[in-house]
Structure 1
Amino acid sequence: MVFKRRNRRTPMEWMREFIYPRGGFRRAAQYAAHRLRRLPDEPHRVARGVFAGVFVSFTPLFGFHFMLAAGLAWLMRGNIIAALLGTFIGNPLTTPVIAFSSVEIGHWLLGIDVPLTLLSVVAAFSGAGTELWQNFAAIFTDEPTRWSDLHAFFHTFYIPYLVGGILPGLAVSLIFYWITIPIVQTYQKLRSNRLQVRIEKRRMIKAAVIAADEKAQRAAEDRGSDPLP
């Protein structure tokens, strides 16, 4: 199986590797690309799966990217595992850049005039998450719930992110779609050629063994047919 591990990770290990994968992001990207090439499916289906995963990564629906990518890949008749691997584009290094560009495009499309910086977008999402958690904790305490900051965040950042992520999401997804097809085709062709070479070698070895057996059998028959002196 693609994601099977010998030793299961603890929740803390899972969170740590989600933020910073073991071996770094470069090794994680190489692993994802390696798995992607080896998927036993048609190149166009794999590419459609990658398209779905990359596109979903440009949405602010954090926590649902895997599920949404799998659903979109299923609708597009793409490879679901490729879709899950495609969500790697939305990692902790790229997500702030994706968020900033998407919110900025969303502001332009929706006519919202709010000064933006990368730090302000990250701070807005961090503050919204903190307030959401505090409101959840308030259910079990006497603390009052506060929704004013979340309301402002929803209209100033979340909706623009959702709308603005469509255009760059489509553009980047199409790029990955067209890149994936020749990569998978080339790998599958090389793998098929290597398989044919191995099959041919085995055929030649088998033919040589059969020929040697037949030669030995003929030699034994010749010795048996020689007249006694």
Structure 2
Amino acid sequence: MLFRRRIKATWADRLREFFWPRKGLTRPARYLAKRILRLSASPHAVAAGVAAGIFSAFTPLIGFHVLLALALAYLMAGNLLAAALATTIANPLTIPFIALATFRLGEVLLGISTAEAVTASELFHRLEHLELSELWQPVLKPMLAGAGILGVSAAFLAYVATRFVVRSFRARRHARLLERATIAASTPVLSRGDTSL
């Protein structure tokens, strides 16, 4: 096999790498950020795509985040790939926090007070086992209301930050290319018959 390890990993090494990869936990996030920065669309299109993806990640429509992000990015003339990549903010590590935050904010916005404190596991248990008609009032309505506020806020911040970062990234890259071009233009080109050196 082409990319096989020279020394076979032990069971303990595999277990350790499952919880703490050799390249670190931030490598996938850095890869996604660089992938988004290198998209060839305009800064507005990239930023609008990221904003659409982040907004959809805050909605309780788990499993439909990418479809919602693509639809919103299309409506806002955003980049579809940036929208799909930005939905990865809702992953198994962050979804419990996002869901609980949107639920709590929705309860506050709608004036709903529950006697017991609902944890993230209880919230997902309700989402899994209740019918849609039973879910709407106690769970989905507060989550959608909270997702509206948190999602729009996060999407606005993501749009502004992404547009600024994409513009500065492209300006730096353009300056580097100009510098390389001037260096290449200033160095003399030797012909084959030139033996002066």
Q: TM-score scaled by structure 2? A: 0.78
The CA deviation string for residues 115-148 of structure 1, in whole angstroms up to 9 with x for no partner, is: 46462x432323432x37xxxxxxxxxxxxxx4x
Determine which structure has the larger helix proportion and give its number: 1
Offset at residue 198 of structure 1 (A)? 2.5
Q: Counterpart in 2 of 1:125?
A: 124
Offset at residue 76 of structure 1 (A)? 0.3
The CA deviation string for residues 97-130 of structure 1, in whole angstroms up to 9 with x for no partner, is: 21112111222232322146462x432323432x
Separation in 2, partners of 1:123, 1:24: 31
Between structure 1 and structure 2, the one with the greater Rg is: 1
Separation in 2, partners of 1:116, 1:181: 42
Structure 1 unaligned blocks of 5 or more? 1-6, 8-19, 133-146, 220-229
Separation in 2, partners of 1:28, 1:201: 35
Separation in 1, partners of 2:105, 2:65: 21
Structure 2 unaligned blocks of 5 or more? 4-18
Separation in 1, partners of 2:116, 2:166: 40
Q: Counterpart in 2 of 1:113?
A: 113
Task: Decide which of 155, 174, 187 is 1:173's aligned counterpart.
Answer: 155
1:72-221 superposed matches below 5 A: 72-115=72-115, 117=117, 119=119, 121-129=120-128, 131=129, 147=131, 151-205=133-187, 208-209=188-189, 212-213=190-191, 216=194
Instruction: Please report the RMSD computed on the Cα atoms of aligned residues, expressed in angstroms.
Output: 2.9
Percentage of matched positions with identical amino acids = 36
Return closer, same or farther for 1:24/1:165 CA change in 2, 3 Å cut-off: farther
Q: How many residues align?
A: 179
Separation in 2, partners of 1:91, 1:201: 45
Q: TM-score scaled by structure 1? A: 0.68
Q: Counterpart in 1 of 2:56?
A: 56
